[in-house]
């Protein structure tokens, strides 16, 4: 009988300069079968996190030298550590301190003296949220999509590796910058291009939550060129390829009819033939195959 595979224990990094707090947390967390790492200041916390990536960080806000707020800010600037949930622990309870904790990237804020039952529950919730978020982003990263997310102010929150490579290949090492004007255009239904390279086209795919928008990045191409790629790739007629191209760009049947000067019924007939040739049953599947074909040819 094969040996039972052990599940790795979750790692918690405790950052606090108070020995009593460290002892309390270490004892309670180890009783929950968690591996505990300890840092007494911000610099050591960052160094430890870079060597052994923790699953969650419990961070004191007030410490000598680099305080917890600056420590969290620096952690979030490191792409390899930015995903780690940070829960602040502090005796500070003024609104400005709580706001500051969230502003630098914290996910939660608990006041001392610490109630272990509460902090354990919060840890479980934030660890599960972080796991789901990373799983979703990993799926996007491995799907070959040229995607990025921005907040309401146009600040880039994350990109897939493919999007980073496309920006680098097309326009050099593009510095992080605001895409507020471009996001506003997209939300109005107007076209937008990357401000550092007009050859990079932005498309709004949807709103993830109240302050996160998902965008797709692509290279500007001549419509005839892309239609020709679809025609050759799927053995379509020229008109069927044009209809499929606009379908992949998110246009409705009526929009496609207006763009190509066709009747909606004619568009329907072309799509029926396209679905048959692609071996699919709906618009979503056809659009996905078309986009995959175009991405392969980039």
pLDDT digits (tens, 9 = 90+) for 225-279: 788 888 888 999 989 998 998 898 888 888 888 878 888 899 999 999 999 999 9
pLDDT digits (tens, 9 = 90+) for 110-127: 888 888 888 888 888 887
Domains and CATH numbers, the chain: 11-139 (3.40.50.2300), 144-219 (3.30.450), 223-296 (1.10.10.10)
Give the pLDDT of residue 95. Answer: 82
Most confident of 33-47, 195-209, 214-228, 246-260: 33-47
Per the CB < 8 A criterion, the answer to whether 191 and 201 are in contact is yes
Sheet holding 56-60, edge to edge: 35-39, 11-15, 56-60, 86-90, 108-111
Per the CB < 8 A criterion, the answer to whether 60 and 97 are in contact is no
Return the number of other C-beta atoms located less than 10 Å from residue 247's C-beta. 22
Average of per-residue pLDDT across 152-170 = 73
Name the average pLDDT for the chain: 82
- Asked whether the bond before 113 is cis by omega within 30 degrees of 0, the reply is yes
Specify the higher pLDDT residue, 27 or 114: 27
Per the CB < 8 A criterion, the answer to whether 36 and 61 are in contact is no
Specify the higher pLDDT residue, 60 or 162: 60
Look up residue 29 and give its two tokens: 């967390």
The answer to pTM > 0.95 is no
Sheet holding 156-159, edge to edge: 156-159, 147-150, 212-219, 197-209, 192-194
């Amino acid at each position: 009988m094969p040996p039972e595979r052990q599940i790795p224990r979750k790692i918690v990094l405790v950052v606090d300069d108070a020995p009593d707090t460290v002892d309390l947390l270490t004892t309670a967390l180890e009783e929950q079968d968690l591996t505990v790492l300890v840092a007494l200041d911000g610099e050591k916390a960052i160094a430890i996190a870079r060597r052994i990536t923790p699953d969650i960080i419990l961070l004191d806000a007030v410490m000598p030298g680099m305080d917890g707020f600056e420590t969290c800010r620096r952690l979030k600037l490191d792409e390899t550590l930015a995903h780690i949930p940070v829960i602040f622990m502090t005796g500070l309870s003024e609104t400005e301190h709580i706001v500051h904790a969230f502003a630098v990237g914290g996910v939660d804020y608990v006041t001392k003296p610490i109630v272990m039952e509460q902090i354990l529950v919060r840890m479980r919730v934030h660890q599960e949220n972080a796991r789901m978020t990373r799983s979703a982003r990993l799926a996007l990263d491995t799907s070959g999509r040229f995607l990025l997310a921005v907040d309401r102010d146009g600040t880039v929150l994350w990109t897939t590796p493919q999007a980073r490579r496309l920006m680098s290949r097309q326009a050099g090492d593009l510095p992080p910058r605001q895409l507020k004007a471009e996001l506003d255009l997209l939300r109005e239904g107007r076209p937008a291009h990357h401000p550092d390279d007009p050859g990079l086209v932005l498309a709004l795919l949807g709103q993830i939550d109240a302050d996160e928008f998902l965008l797709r990045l692509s290279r500007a191409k001549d419509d005839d060129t892309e239609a020709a790629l679809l025609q050759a790739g799927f053995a379509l007629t020229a008109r069927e390829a044009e209809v499929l191209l606009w379908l992949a760009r998110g246009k409705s049947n009526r929009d496609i009819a207006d763009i190509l000067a066709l009747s909606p019924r004619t568009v329907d007939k072309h799509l029926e033939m396209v679905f048959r040739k692609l071996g699919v049953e709906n618009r979503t599947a056809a659009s996905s195959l078309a986009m995959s074909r175009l991405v392969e040819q980039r």
